[in-house]
Amino acid sequence: MTSGVVIEEEKILEKWNSNPMLKPRITKVTVNISVGSATDRLGKAMKVLEELTGAKPVPRRAKRTIRDFGIRKGENIAAMVTLRGEKALSFLRKALEAVGYRLKASSFDDNGNVSFGIKEHIHIPGVKYDPEVGIFGMDVCITIERPGYRIMRRKRMRKKRVPRRHRVSKEEAMLLLKKELGVEIVPE
């Protein structure tokens, strides 16, 4: 590590310690398995998601028709689960172990969100191969926010924008995952 990066990390940590409203947190983890068609394979994917996460998956529909892949608009082609709180953190630890606690820097967006893929669900610790179910890959998306982001989603009062100074930066998201979960950030 260069000294410039260390100084930047120290500044961010000092900012978080000075004001608890500035320290970001993991808000939710979204897990998605796409199978591409509404067959019995989708049912198996939903079963795998439920076993891995402990939450009931929701089927997702195709937004448009793609003839080359045999997909029609409105057809169920994927399943997803949104996890929050302790369930999200426990699943995230298992998912990160499947990728070796290493994430690419390009996996982070400018708003501090992170996405990575797991090629085969059997890489997750504690999961055994079942020939009747098969093997599924999945996408894991982590949403990182600061306290106060609720103003974007509230219903009772007027919704407001979160100002740029209160949004989570790419560097802050990297530092949060590094400090809280022990993730190693790999350059491109």
* pTM, entire model: 0.87
Locate the domains of the chain by residue range: 24-186
pLDDT of residue 3: 64
User: What does the pLDDT average to over 65-86?
Assistant: 85
Pairing mode, strands 184-186 and 102-104: parallel
Q: Round to whole Å and give the CA distance between 54 and 87.
A: 8
Judging by beta carbons within 10 Å of its beta carbon (0-12, 13-18, 19+), is residue 184 exposed, middle or buried? exposed
Number of Cβ within 10 Å of residue 174's Cβ equals 20
Percentage of the chain modeled with pLDDT above 90: 34
| Region for residue 70 given its phi and psi (left: phi exceeds 0; alpha: psi -120 to 50; beta: otherwise) | left
Q: For domain 24-186, say whether CATH 3.30.1440.10 is its number.
A: yes
156, 158, 161, 165 alpha-carbon torsion, rounded to 10°: -80
Q: Model confidence over 40-75: pLDDT tens digits?
A: 888 888 888 998 888 999 988 888 888 877 778 888
Q: Model confidence over 89-110: pLDDT tens digits?
A: 999 999 999 999 999 999 999 9
Residues 6+ apart with CB under 8 A from 37: 70, 71, 75, 77
Mean pLDDT for the chain overall: 87
pLDDT of 1 over the 60 cut: no
Q: Model confidence over 133-180: pLDDT tens digits?
A: 888 889 999 999 998 878 888 887 788 888 888 888 899 999 999 998
pLDDT of residue 92: 92
pLDDT of 20 over the 90 cut: no
The band of 30, judged by pLDDT with boundaries at 50, 70 and 90, is very high
The answer to whether 21 and 51 are in contact (CB under 8 A) is: no
